[in-house]
Structure formats: structure tokens, C-alpha cells
Chains A and B, each alone.
Chain A
Amino acid sequence: MTQLEAHQRGLLDLIKSRGDPSDDPYLRRVAGSRELAMMREIAVWWRALQLETQCYFTSRLLKRLGCFDELIVTYFNRNATSPFVEELSRDFLAWLCSQQDPLIHAVSQFEHAFLEARAGSEEAFEVLWDRHPDLVFRALEDGGNLPVPEPGHVYRMRIDRGLPRMVDSALPVH
């Protein structure tokens, strides 16, 4: 490994909070510095700003649940983030789809499908909700209480570029 490669790989690990700093005296000095902490803060701040703009409902939901900042940091540290905001948003939402919380899962899945369709995907997507999605969107829009799950009810929503507004009304499935 050349000195340049070691230098750049070392800085990448430091900004992503990965592993222990190497034996390189410069990297060890940077590792504990307030300057590095500031660079990390800026990098995460940019990701948060971009995702807030692109993932409107998901970011609002995560803020309501108090986990937005933490998830952005975790996502940034553990993933290769794209410099292109459209890709970053779709990757972040796809990552969130693996979340256990059913509401985070559904909202991020919906927004991911919508961004895919808007970007030209021919795929038809389906999202299942455990509460009426219209009530969720309204609550996120106006700041009202989030609806609670409706036991025994499932709402199926289709997202498809071929639909007039790309999204159809959610239908209850029993």
C-alpha cells in the first residue's frame, strides 16, 4: 500500500468512525481532534439536509419518533453513501425498509417506491399498512397524533408509474 493510499483509507475510516486509528502518527493525531469531530458533524449535517428534502414523510416520521439524528449517523457510518442526492435517498429508504417498526417500515417503503416510480422505474410496488395511510400522511403533514394500528386490518397500496398519480387509494384487505 502506498503512503497516499494509507493516508486516504485512514481518513475514510476516521470520518466513518470505523476501527482504531492506525499507527500513523498523523492519523492518530487527527483521530482525537475536535477538527475531525467537526468534519463528521458537517458530513452528517449534509446527509440530514439532503434526506429531509428528498424523503419528506419519512424524515418527518423519524423526527416525530425522536430517532432521526441517530439513524442518520448510523446510516452514514455503516454505509457507502452516494454523492448523488437521488441515489442517497433511495439507498437510505431501502435501508430503513429493514426496520422492525411497522410504521417506519411502511412509510419508508412507500416513499422508496414513489421515488423509484418518479425516477422512471417500470416496476409496480405494493405497500401493506397496519393502519390507514391517509391518516398517517395527514398526521405527518399537520402535526396531529399518529393513528394507532388497527388490529385485524391491513391496507394495500399500489405505487405504479402507470397510475394517474402514481399511487392508488389504499384498499382494506381482511
Chain B
Amino acid sequence: MRREVLEEYASLTPQVTLIAHGVGLSIGSFNDWEESYLRLLDELFARFDLEWHSEHLGFTVVAGENTGTMFPLPHTEEELDLVCERVRILQERYRVPFLLDHVIHLLPEAPAQFTPAGFLNAITSRTGCGLILDAYNLECDAYNQRFDIPAFLDELDLAPVRELHIAGGVRHDGFQLDIHSRPTCDSTLALARDIVVRSPGLRIVTYEFLKEAIPSLGHDRICSELTRIRQAILQ
């Protein structure tokens, strides 16, 4: 990990609590997950006391080759066994809570043995890991795949939800994309508020945006957006 990045993190502690949210582990790859990402995590945990860490429930590596984008996992018994074993390894290795974050489904749902919520429930009940719910991702799935958010939330065990993500994205060629670059929509905040009320173990809400979006969003807009989100969620 770049020294200047570690120094920046070090300058923030102990005033702030650090958590890590990864995109590069590829926890659902059929053979190897991304060992280089694990080494980065090792480095981070060796230097800092992270309160928890998390990763996306997807795969970006196939037989050692990067796919260039995140694919969601098929909701099958085979995938479930593989993910649960890797969650167990992470829990033993770092000894802090580990959370999984569902990703958007641009492609049609693959043949499955579980519903999306049933798959998450099976992982959390088998491993004791936590969840990140992403209100914007759910909205993307509803827009792109007619995903039934109310039915999903009714079926999902919300007790393991520790973190909530919200974001604003773009529509392009008829798709709602998880390119986090905009302020949040009112509908996202309303959904977030619903999740907050129903999730007893929720600890934090994160407003996600890409660093590439900072020039167009602007620092003032980001600050006012945080205020807006806080007010909407705490109302």
C-alpha cells in the first residue's frame, strides 16, 4: 500500500474510527480470491485498529484473470458454501466483524436455488457476519430488473445490518448505473429512512461517491448533501 496513503490514515487516528470497505477481494471466485488484496488488508490491520471491514458480494477474478467489472454471485448452494468458508477465514484472520455488501445486477438473474434475500440470510445465519445494505443499489435493481424491494426487505433478516450505503448515480442508455457521482434522490433517502427504522443493529450510514466525482459535485455540495442526508434519516 502506498506510504502516503498509510500516513494520511495515521494522521486521522485516533480522532476518527477507521473501517475498511473493499472492492478487490473477489470473494466469490470459483478458485482463488485476490491474494494481493489480502496482503493489502494484512498491511492495514498490522498498522491500524479497524472497527470492522467489509467487501462486495461478487467476483472480479476468474482463474486469475480480472473481469474488469463486478459480477454478482449466482444464488446457489455451491456458491454459498464457498463464500461461507471464505468469510470464516476472514473472521479468523482479522478477528473483527466482517460485513458483506450486495452489488447491483445489471445482467438477468442467473439460475438460483435461493432468493436474493434467502441467500444473504443463509450467509449471515451460517457465519454470523454482518451486512451492508445499499439503498441506491436496490433502486438500481428495481429500475433495471424490476426487483421487488419491499418483498426483499420483508424476507431479509435485518438484524445483521450494521451499515447502510446511499448514493446518487446516473441513467445511461436506459440503465440506472452504480457510478456514484451525484447527490442522492429523495426516493433513495426515503428508502434509507425505511431501512434505518427497521434495522436494529445499524451503526453508520455512508454517503458514497467516487473521487473522480468530487470536482463536479464540489466540496460545498458534498457537505450540504451530508446535512440533507442526516436530516432525512433522523427525522
Residue numbers of A with Cβ under 8 A of B are 2-5, 7-9, 11-12, 15, 26, 29-30, 33-36, 38-39, 42-44, 46-47, 49, 76, 80-84
Contact = CB atoms under 8 A, between A and B. Distances in A.
B62 interface: yes
B66 A81 contact: yes
Contacts of A15: 67-69
Interface of B: 24, 29-31, 34, 36, 59-69, 71, 74, 76, 78-79, 82, 106-108, 110-111, 144, 172-175, 177, 179, 212
Contacts of A81: 66, 68
16 contacts: A8-B29, A11-B62, A11-B71, A12-B63, A26-B110, A29-B108, A33-B107, A35-B107, A36-B107, A38-B172, A38-B175, A39-B106, A42-B69, A46-B68, A83-B24, A83-B34
Contact of B68 (A2, A49, A76): A76
Given A11-B62, A30-B108, A3 B76 contact: yes
Contact of A26 (B30, B111, B179): B111
Nearest to B82: A4
Given A3-B78, A8-B59, A39 B69 contact: yes
A9 B30 CA distance: 9
Contacts, number: 81
B100 to A, nearest CB: 17
A42 B173 CA distance: 12
A4 B76 contact: yes
Contact of B60 (A5, A7, A34, A83): A83
A47 to B, nearest CB: 7
Contacts of B66: 80-83
Contacts of A36: 107
